[in-house]
Amino acid sequence: MSKRIAQSSVNWAALAERVPAEQKASLAAFKVKSDGYLRRVLANPAEAPKINWAVYKQTIPIPGMVDNFQKQYEALKIPYPADTMTAKVDAQWVEIKKAIDAFVQASNANIAKYQKQIEETNAILPYDQMTMEDFKDAHPDIAIDPINKPTFWPHNPEEQLDYVDPEKQAQASH
């Protein structure tokens, strides 16, 4: 049997913090509907009123009719629907929780990686104070090295003698 609710179990303030600004009106409308439903439920008594069968037995002259109605009324049991969805929702929540935990772990790993990059960047000498040698030491992969690897102006890959167009190379390999 179900139990009667006394108040809403929804934490509306916490929910409002997570709702985007453009959906605040929809959340407010939903809260109004939910509160209206709760008020209508609480306006009714928790139990159905008891029937005073003795008054009906005295008033109705047909013998056995009230007893028959009383027996049928007390035998009437309205089935409360079985809760088949809670288990499914809980199973979905377990799966979602795993995905959330994996996302949090990946995010924390990314945060640590990016924090390390920030620290490395902050440790580098500011660019306006660097010499060409300092830049070469800080970024050997993109710095111009005129002694070990001389290049022609404008020092981009397309202007160099050993440059091979990647599109032509891809077409030649097919």
Helix (H), strand (E) counts: the chain: 7, 0
Q: Are 8 and 31 in contact (CB under 8 A)?
A: no
End-to-end CA distance of the chain: 72
List the structure tokens of 169.
Answer: 């190379």
Instruction: Note down pLDDT in tens along the chain; length 174 residues.
Output: 456 666 677 888 888 999 999 999 999 999 999 999 888 888 888 887 888 888 888 888 888 888 898 899 888 888 888 888 989 999 999 999 999 999 999 999 999 999 999 999 899 899 899 998 899 888 888 888 888 888 888 888 888 888 888 888 888 777
Burial 148-174 (b: 16+ CB within 10 A, else e): eeeeeeeeeeeeeeeeeeeeeeeeeee
| Per-residue pLDDT at 129 | 93
Residue 45 three-state SS:
coil
pLDDT at position 88, please? 92
Q: Where are the domains of the chain?
A: 1-49, 51-80, 84-123, 127-173
Please tell me the predicted confidence (pLDDT) of residue 28. Answer: 93
